[in-house]
Amino acid sequence: MGYHGRCFDGCTSAVLFTRLYRAIGQKNAQIEFRALAHQKGHVPGTAELDGDENAILDFKYTTSPALTWWFDHHQSAFANAEDRAHFDADRSGRKFYDPACTSCTKLITAVAQEKFGIRWEDLAELVRWADIIDSARFESPGVAVELLEPALQLMTVIEVSDDAFCTSLIPRLDAGGLAVASAPDVRARFEPIQREHLEAVKRVRQRARCEGEVVHFDLTEWNMDGFNKFIGYYLFPDAAYSVGVTASARRAKVSVGSNPWSPHKRRHDISRLCEKYGGGGHPAVGAVTLPGSDVAEARRVGLEIARTLRDA
C-alpha cells in the first residue's frame, strides 16, 4: 500500500483503507505500507506496485495495470490528460477521485459508508482531525502554530519523522486512534520538535518579508526539512499568501499556501501554480520538491512564485 508519506492525511488514509480492505473480505491479508514522496516527474511504478494487489492513497494517479485501488482528492492528481482519460475509462469500481473532498481520509470514509455500508465510530475523531488538518480549517493561526491539541502534536511528529516511524504509526492509529498522540515515544519525539518549532518561528520572524500581500522567506541557510506552514500568517495576519523555501540533505522544498483567515479573496489555484515547476497540491496549498542539491533552483522557484502571486 502506497500512501502520501510524512503527511497526517496520508497516514490516516492508510488506517481507513486498511480497515476497509479487511472488512470486505481480506481479513488475513498481509499488508505492507510504503511512504510516497512527491518529486518532479515521478509517478509510482514497478518498484512501488509489487504486491498481489496494490493501493495508492492520497497520491498521484498511475496508469500501471498493477494498480488495484486508488483514492485521491488533489487537484494535481493526474500528470496529464491521458492519465485522466485512463481513470475515467476504469470500470473496476475500486478507484475513487473527488477534488471537492477536503481530505483523502474523508473520501475513504464516504466510500466505505456509501458503497460498502461500513462505519467506524471509534475513528470518528481521527477522521475529523485529519479533515481539519488537510483543509487547514483551524479556528485561528494561533491554534495551528501554538500546537496545544494532541492531534496537532501528532501531525507535527509525522511531518518531520522518518518514513519508518510514520509507517509504524499506522497500525497503532488503527488500534487506538488519537490516543497514540499521548504515547511515550510520540511525546519523546514531539518535545524536541516543539523546541525546533519555536526556533523556526524565530527564523521566519527574522527572514520573512511581506510585500503585496505575499510573505516570503528563505530558510535554506539552516538544515530544515520543513516548517509549520501557518507561521507566516501567525506573524503577518494580513498576508494573503505564504512562500517558504527550505533545504536539507534529503530535499529542497518550496512550500506555498494561501491564508485561510485572510480577508482577501484567493485569486490563484496553488496546485496549478506548483505544477508548473513539477509540484502539486490543493487549490489553497501546495509545494514543489527538488533534490537536496538543487537549493539554488528552489530559491529561484520560490522567488518566481512569490512574484507571480504578488503581480497577478
Mean pLDDT over all residues of the chain?
Answer: 94
**Are residues 131 and 9 part of one domain?**
yes
CATH of the domain at 297: 3.10.310.30
Q: Which residues pair with 214 in a beta bridge?
A: 211, 241
Is 240 within a domain? yes
- pLDDT tens per residue across span 14-23: 999 999 999 9
The pLDDT assigned to 67 comes to 97
Spatial distance between the Cα atoms of 296 and 290, rounded to a whole number of angstroms: 10
Q: Could you tell me which of 237, 235, 274, 276 has the C-alpha nearest to residue 256? A: 274
Is 94 within a domain? yes
Is 222 within a domain? yes
Is 185 within a domain? no
pLDDT band at 41 (very low <50, low <70, confident <90, very high): low
Spatial contact of 251 and 38, defined as CB atoms under 8 Å apart: no
Cell for 82?
Answer: 491521458
**Are residues 118 and 236 part of one domain?**
no
Last residue of a domain, one of 93, 116, 135: 135
Per-residue pLDDT for 305 more than 90? yes
Per-residue pLDDT for 44 more than 80? no
pLDDT (average), residues 25-44: 83
**Are residues 127 and 9 part of one domain?**
yes
Is 112 within a domain? yes
Q: Kindly compute the dihedral angle of the four CA atoms of residues 56, 60, 63, 66, in this order, to the nearest 10 degrees.
A: -20
Is 287 within a domain? yes
Per-residue pLDDT for 46 more than 70? no
Spatial distance between the Cα atoms of 101 and 270, rounded to a whole number of angstroms: 16
Per-residue pLDDT for 40 more than 80? no
pLDDT band at 263 (very low <50, low <70, confident <90, very high): confident
Spatial distance between the Cα atoms of 249 and 266, rounded to a whole number of angstroms: 33
pLDDT (average), residues 165-185: 97
A 10 A CB-CB count for 79 gives 17
Sign of CA dihedral 55, 60, 61, 66: negative
Domain count, the chain: 2
**Are residues 16 and 107 part of one domain?**
yes
Spatial distance between the Cα atoms of 202 and 231, rounded to a whole number of angstroms: 10
Q: What are phi and psi of 70, to 5 degrees?
A: -150, 130
pLDDT (average), residues 110-126: 97
**Are residues 93 and 210 part of one domain?**
no
Is 49 within a domain? yes
Stated length of the chain: 312
Last residue of a domain, one of 111, 135, 159: 135
**Are residues 236 and 111 part of one domain?**
no
Is 106 within a domain? yes
How crowded is the C-beta side of 51, counted as CA atoms within 13 Å? 16
Spatial distance between the Cα atoms of 310 and 312, rounded to a whole number of angstroms: 6
User: Taking the model in full, what pTM does it have?
Assistant: 0.81
The pLDDT assigned to 108 comes to 98
Per the structure, the complete domain to which residue 243 belongs is given by 205-311
Last residue of a domain, one of 95, 120, 135: 135
Q: Could you tell me which of 211, 247, 212 has the C-alpha nearest to residue 227? A: 247
- pLDDT tens per residue across span 98-109: 999 999 999 999
**Are residues 118 and 23 part of one domain?**
yes
Cell for 169?
Answer: 504509526
